[in-house]
Each structure stands twice: as C-alpha cells, then as structure tokens.
Amino acid sequence: MRGPGTAARGARRMLAGVFSRLWLAAVLVAAWEAVTRAVQESYFPPPSQIVVAMHELWFSGPAGSLFLTEDAREDFGHSLYNLFGGWVLACLAGVVLGVALGRSRTLADYVEPVIHFGRAVPPPTLLSFYIAVFSLGTPMQVATIVSGVVWPVLLNTIDGVRTVDRLQLDSAQVFGVRGSGLLLRVVIPAAMPKIVAGLRISLGIALILMVLSELVGSTAGIGSLLIGAQRSFELPEMWAGIMLLGVLGYLLNAVFVTVERRLLRWHLNVREAA
C-alpha cells in the first residue's frame, strides 16, 4: 500500500519533470515580453497583450459553456471539423492503398510513378482547382487537407508492409494463417510502428493545411480570423490566433504521443530489450 511519503515523492517527481520541460519556454516568453515592451513596435505586441486578446476572443464566455465564447465555439468547431475530417479520410485512404501496394509488387510498379508525381505537387497550388470544383466551403477545405496529408501515411504504410520480417510471414503460413488473417494478425501489426509514424507526421501537416484552406474565402475558423485580423490591423488578435495554433499543435502532438505509447507499448518493450 502506498503511503503519503510515496505519493509526495511521486508528485515532486512529476512537478520536476514538468519544470524540466517547460523552463525554457518560460524564459523565452519572459524575454519576448521584455524585448517587445522595450522596442514598443505595434506589429509585435507583448505576450501579455496577446493573452488578453485570446481571453476576450475565445475564453471569456459563461461557465456553462466552459468559458468559451460564441466566436470560440464557431471558430474551433469549424476548424477542428475540417482538420479531423480531412485527416481521418486521408489516413483511411493512405493505409488501405498503402497495404495493397506494399503487398503487391506488380500493382506498385504501375502506381508508384503516379504517387511520386502526386506527392511532388504542393497542395497550395491545387487551391484554385479545388475552388473551381467544390466552390468555397468545407468540401474545398477538406479536399485541400486530404491532398497534402495522404502522402506520408501512404508512403510509410507501403514501407512498413514491405519490411515485415519474412520469417514472421513464413511462420504464420506454416500454421495455416493466410489471406485476410495473415493481413490482420501479422502484416498490419508488424507494420504498425511505421504506419503510426506516418499518422503523426500527417497530423502536423493537416493543421498547416487547415489554416491555409481557411485563409481563402472562409468566414469561419481560425484561419479566417487570422486573415481578418491582419486586414483590419488588429495585431494582438492576429498574434492570438498564431499562438492558439501553436498551443493546438502542441496539444495534438502530446495526445498523439500518449496514444502511440499505449498502442505500441509492445514495440517499445521490444526495442528496450534489444
């Protein structure tokens, strides 16, 4: 049974770990505050003004709404819907196609030149095409995200499936595991570390493309707020949007890493043993 001393030591270790990771960020924010107040440049407001703008824009709502304002619910809901909608669609397409290409060398020989051509096209250059096809709105924004997010998932899945240990495949077939059973029990689990790495990379790209797609003709979302604040010279609000995106990217990565560690605990244990 854990005593109060053990709990206290655990709490101290946790606080020490948090401090060891965040001390540099605190120092940088303090330096930013000091420099911007000394320079007095309107284009670079101090962090204290940015935090006030963030609070007024998004976090000054009623307690019943978790202190979120109406603008926050509209902006966050619209942006996160596009972000996760495009990311999930791209991940599904990338994993399914990647497994098929990784398992079939003949199919890959025909399709891979098209893949390498497609991934070399920057997604922003396709915005005009998507606007012409889907008009302005959510379908155009989701299509922009999918077109840039699918490639790291697809390529990592192909590589993961191709590098499955041949001994594992042969052993499974000796025990009568074939077809879909071989795919679900051996191939995909063995390729999962590289697949998950592709998913993690693609999530960061999805955040970037979410903002980019909302800068063009959108009336809702964080990207729309950014471009509107820039045009009206509301600089603390513009920087508030930039800071919010940084915090959102950090939180998404932290959540993904936590899920990844639980999902791939077996893989981490094998690496540590090796």
Of the candidate ranges 80-89, 161-170, 193-202, the one whose mean pLDDT is the lowest: 161-170
Amino acid at 35: V
Query: What residue ranges do the domains of the chain occupy?
Result: 4-58, 63-273
Residue 88: is its pLDDT beyond 90? yes
Q: Cβ contacts of residue 205 below 8 Å, gap of 6+?
A: 148, 149, 152
Where does residue 157 rank: exposed (0-12), middle (13-18), buried (19+ CB within 10 A)? Answer: buried
- The reported pLDDT for the residue numbered 4 is 53
Residue in this structure with the two tokens 């094998």, named with its chain if needed: 270
Length reported for the chain: 274
Of the candidate ranges 20-24, 42-46, 114-118, 231-235, the one whose mean pLDDT is the lowest: 20-24
H or E segment to which residue 48 belongs: helix 47-58
Q: Where are the alpha helices (DSSP H) in 120-234?
A: 127-134, 138-162, 166-174, 179-182, 188-214, 222-231
Name the fold adopted by 63-273.
Answer: MetI-like fold (1.10.3720)
Cα Rg of the chain (Å, integer): 23
Amino acid at 83: L
- The reported pLDDT for the residue numbered 179 is 72
Quick one: what percent of the chain has pLDDT higher than 90? 16
- The reported pLDDT for the residue numbered 261 is 84
Other C-beta atoms closer than 10 Å to the C-beta of 133 total 11
The model's pLDDT over 143-167, given as tens digits with 9 standing for 90+, comes to 999 999 999 999 999 998 888 877 7
Mean pLDDT, the chain, rounded, equals 82
Q: What's the pLDDT band for 19 if we cut at 50, 70, 90? A: low
Q: Whole-structure pTM over 0.85, yes or no?
A: no
Amino acid at 123: P
**Residue range 17-35: mean pLDDT, rounded:** 79
- The reported pLDDT for the residue numbered 1 is 47
Question: In the structure, how many helices (H) and strands (E) does the chain have?
Answer: 12, 0
Residue 50: is its pLDDT beyond 80? yes
Residue 53: is its pLDDT beyond 70? yes
**Residue range 171-184: mean pLDDT, rounded:** 72
